[in-house]
Structure 1
Amino acid sequence: MCPAPASLPLHSCLLACPDLSLIWKSKAKPNGKKPPAEEKKQYLELEYTKIRVVDFDLKELVVLPREIDLNEWLASNTTTFFNLINLQYSTISEFCTGETCQAMTACNTIYYWYDERGKKTKCTAPQYVDFVMSLCQKLVTDEEIFPTKYGKEFPNSFESLVKKICRYLFHVLAHLYWAHFKETVALDLQGHLNTLYAHFIIFVREFNLVDPKETCIMDDLSEILCAPAPPPAPTPAPSAPDSAPSPSSQNHVTER
């Protein structure tokens, strides 16, 4: 294990930290196509969606602090999400093979890659994730794009590149839920995945980093995991002896 950097969100500190030095090789752009049928979504069941590793409002973690530059904030969070999603995928990578995942699927979508010449390629899920991580690794370690030295300017293309990274990372998260949720549950990591996914979605929504048309395939999960936690119910006062409950208390409906 290695200590979590101070800049990482709280839930990342609860994850193991194996070697993240693997460098992937390839570049491409995704496109979607619907496969024949949609399977039952185990990850939507209440027994799983209620499990998190934090119980506070994640919105507080994504709001831009007044004293922080927007690009600095986007750079820090994007790099963190890349590392965490990379780490989360690594926990099930042995189950994501060319035989088990012959296409990069997520819900009703199959993702394809386009090489630099525009050639469309259908690849296995592990190949696709390799492509994603290769591109992300290349971008976040490029001093001309993600500068770390004082006084270094961000390029004009910075926001568009952050959007590209976030779009790719969303595909990996969606595949984790769709194809590897059973393995995640078996490893007792569903709480980490739920918290990471909710944090990521709230972040990209806050700064409009991923087109809603891209994330709509997971809207059912997003609305469950990203909904603010309801306030704790007040302790009811003891009722008077032999007093009948009022009609209003019998018919009360909680609205959210």
Structure 2
Amino acid sequence: MAAFIEAILQTFGIEPDLEDRKSKTKPNGKKPPAEEKKQYLEPEFTKVRVVDFDLKELVVLPREIDLNEWLASNTTTFFNLINLQYSTISEFCTGEICQAMTACNTIYYWYDEKGKKTKCTAPQYVDFVMSLCQKLVTDEEIFPTKYGKEFPNSFESLVKKICRYLFHVLAHLYWAHFKETVALELQGHLNTLYAHFIVFVREFNLVDPKETCIMDDLSEILCTPAPLPALTPAPSATAPSPSSQNHVTER
């Protein structure tokens, strides 16, 4: 936008005010993250997938399977796959580079068991997430594997908690480490994993849409069948207004 305005000013012979322009950026002259171009939305990257079929068929509850068993199996699988996906770029996600757990215009804070709010670096946050998920999915009292063992009454709420945290990790991967993912040629794996995860949590209402809305632009591309070439997709009803794009949300 700044380059566009500068071009217009120069057309009319008006010199742009460099001091004013710098004041709207960070002290180092870089644009705020909310204004950065989302590379992961470019068609050359969104079209890359590991598989190309309707993911809806993968997430629908089979008739002969208990709902809790299905949620447990898929949640454990997503935890392992997202943990593995993050590990591929973990060397680039350091406390110096990712000083906060960010995704789009959101900063995530960690809340401990007592509800204490803590701002931490992205690698610290991800470590908290993976440690908690590992503890839960390997607890026989929560994720039972023995025949006849009952799931606790709190099972669904714990699955929702895990899925919410895993979404944060996926969002951070796209927002902060998509370039490294592309360099490793793993964008197809990430796209497929993200789409599968979103379709799954939508099917069983496991993550509040208010939580996932920051990635709605990507979700609509990866989870919605591609429109016919002659059609132009309508603007998303949940797209943030220009004034809200510079607002940083804290969660």
TM-score (norm 2): 0.77
SS at structure 2 position matched to 1:31 = coil
CA contact (8 A) 1:12 1:84 kept: no
- 1:181-210 deviation per Cα after TM superposition (whole angstroms, max 9, x unaligned): 000000000000000000000000000000
CA contact (8 A) 2:195 2:222 kept: yes
- 1:101-154 deviation per Cα after TM superposition (whole angstroms, max 9, x unaligned): 000000010000122332221100000000000110000000000000000000
**Aligned partners of 1:146 and 1:77: how far apart in 2?**
12
Q: Any unmatched runs of 5+ in structure 2?
A: 1-8
> How many equivalent pairs are there?
241
CA contact (8 A) 1:102 1:125 kept: yes
TM-score (norm 1): 0.76
Alignment partner, residue 241 of structure 2: 246
**Aligned partners of 2:95 and 2:65: how far apart in 1?**
43
Alignment partner, residue 15 of structure 1: 14
SS at structure 1 position matched to 2:29 = strand
The alpha-carbon deviation at position 233 of structure 1 amounts to 12
SS at structure 1 position matched to 2:236 = coil
Structure 1 runs (4+) deviating above 3 angstroms are 10-16, 18-21, 25-38, 229-240, 243-256
SS at structure 2 position matched to 1:14 = coil
- 1:183-242 deviation per Cα after TM superposition (whole angstroms, max 9, x unaligned): 0000000000000000000000000000000000000000000012569999999999xx
Q: Any unmatched runs of 5+ in structure 1?
A: 1-9
Root mean square deviation of aligned Cα: 15.9
TM-aligned CA distance change 1:153 to 1:235, over 3 Å: closer
CA contact (8 A) 1:26 1:131 kept: no
TM-aligned CA distance change 1:149 to 1:183, over 3 Å: same
**Aligned partners of 2:49 and 2:14: how far apart in 1?**
13
CA contact (8 A) 1:81 1:200 kept: yes
CA contact (8 A) 2:33 2:104 kept: no
TM-aligned CA distance change 1:162 to 1:149, over 3 Å: same
- 1:80-101 deviation per Cα after TM superposition (whole angstroms, max 9, x unaligned): 0000000000000000000110
Between 108-117 and 214-223, the greater mean CA deviation after superposition:
108-117
Question: 1 or 2, which has the higher helix percentage?
Answer: 2
